[in-house]
Amino acid sequence: MTTPSNLRALIAEDEPILAAALRQALERLWPELQIIASVDNGQAVVEQTLRQRPDILFLDIKMPGKSGLEAAQELAEEWPENEAFPLIVFVTAYDEYAITAFEHAAADYVLKPISDARLGKTIDRLQQRLHQNNDSNAALDRLIGQLHNMQPRTNTEPLTMIRAAVGNQIRMIPINEVIYFEASDKYINVVTADSESLIRTSLKELLPQIDNRQFWQVHRGTIVNHQCIQMAIRDESGKLSLKLRGRSESLAVSRVFAHLFKQM
């Protein structure tokens, strides 16, 4: 990470007036901080952060395409293991469950509309963390795992049957026969012991419809039936993969979801 006098930050906010207000407040309260970019969608956050390697990210939680949380999760999966991950400040409207998580997590938050008093406290915390040189990679893992588990679920009954088109036919797949779901462009590949079928939806849309006690997200593009996991294997570099019952392939586990397989 760069020295305190040469810190760089990226702002992600899809409302231009709020993005400008945050920039002006940072320039006023932390003039040494260099704002290297301001983007208005989650995909641009990922692309610009990977390209420019800022020290701090100010992420709006609700943005077009990817939310701030989704962007942070993707960055955590793509980030080089030997580089410090940026410190994160989530920018949010009042949201009780999120604020509860932030109060006990590794990142910070500021509420809209942003006040100098609250932003000043956030700046103090960021400067302390930069001075202490904490392990920001481990901190991000804790944060993402914490917020992932607190995502709200719908109250509808979980799916019991998947309807998948196969040519001119509709295949009815009992949910308990699904070994894993894997994102593929605008589709999801539904994998069982003896078949693969595509359904036109996204993992984001599917997740609230399935029982998270049975189906675990292990990667941003993969959800697995935990009853079908035979073992989790860690290689020499520390990366996890899953061996499944009834399938020959292995599934990669993102470092964001590695906490699911800690030894009990």
Per-residue pLDDT of the chain (264 residues; tens, 9 = 90+): 455 568 999 999 999 999 999 999 999 999 999 999 999 999 999 999 999 999 999 999 888 888 888 888 888 888 887 788 888 898 887 665 556 556 555 568 888 889 999 999 999 989 988 877 655 556 656 666 655 555 555 556 789 999 998 778 889 999 999 999 999 878 999 999 999 999 999 888 899 899 988 999 999 899 999 999 999 999 988 889 999 998 999 999 988 788 788 764
- 41 with 76, same domain? yes
Query: Tokens 């001075």 label which residue?
Result: 131
Number of domains in the chain: 2
- 138 with 186, same domain? no
Length of the chain: 264
Determine, yes or no, domain membership for 27: yes
Cis peptide before 31 (omega within 30 of 0): no
- 194 with 86, same domain? no
- 13 with 110, same domain? yes
pTM of the model: 0.73
- 8 with 113, same domain? yes
What is the C-alpha separation between 86 and 223, in angstroms, rounded?
27
Determine, yes or no, domain membership for 189: yes
What is the C-alpha separation between 116 and 255, in angstroms, rounded?
35
* Domain carrying residue 125: 4-149
- 119 with 171, same domain? no
> 231 is written with which tokens?
């073992």
CATH code of 244's domain: 2.40.50.1020
Contacts of 117 (CB under 8 A, 6+ apart): none
Query: Tokens 């906010």 label which residue?
Result: 13
Give the pairing of strands 229-234 and 240-244. antiparallel
CATH code of 63's domain: 3.40.50.2300
* Contact yes or no for 39/87 (Cβ under 8 A): no
- 130 with 169, same domain? no
Determine, yes or no, domain membership for 187: yes
What is the C-alpha separation between 45 and 75, in angstroms, rounded?
9
